[in-house]
Amino acid sequence: MKFQDLLAYQKSFALAMKIFEISKSFPKEEIYSLTDQIRRSSRSVPANIAEAYRKRIYPRHFHSKLTDSDAENSETQVWIEFAYKCNYISNEAYIILISESEEIGKLINYMILNPQKFGVTEH
């Protein structure tokens, strides 16, 4: 199996792309702040999942990268909330993005709690 086959990777990559598209409409004055931050944190989620999967022969690295991914996912939720409160996204978009992010968080948590299902073995 490739890391691209992981459901957590697929959903987090799709959310990062959705955020990229939505953030294109953010005001120009946000380009180096909110726009940059939300894109970076959302892209870090699938990147860290990929790294975790590649490092699955090292249980601590697997766990560490997944907790990094979970933290980046939480950070993304903060930026989504800022985008909503600044009226850059609609309530409907906010609900959808947060819901998808929460689902990703559950998938990451599942990976953390069930490492053996992802090829991690204790040495």
pLDDT in tens, 30-54: 999 999 999 999 999 999 999 999 9
Q: What is the pLDDT of residues 100-110, one digit of tens each?
A: 999 999 999 99
- As a three-state string, the secondary structure of the chain is CCHHHCHHHHHHHHHHHHHHHHHCCCCHHHCCCHHHHHHHHHHHHHHHHHHHHHCCCCHHHHHHHHHHHHHHHHHHHHHHHHHHHCCCCCHHHHHHHHHHHHHHHHHHHHHHHCHHHHCCCCC
Q: What is the pLDDT of residue 121?
A: 86
Q: What is the pLDDT of residue 97?
A: 98
Q: What is the pLDDT of residues 64-85, one digit of tens each?
A: 999 999 999 999 999 999 999 9
- Structural domains in the chain, sorted by start: 3-118 (1.20.1440.60)
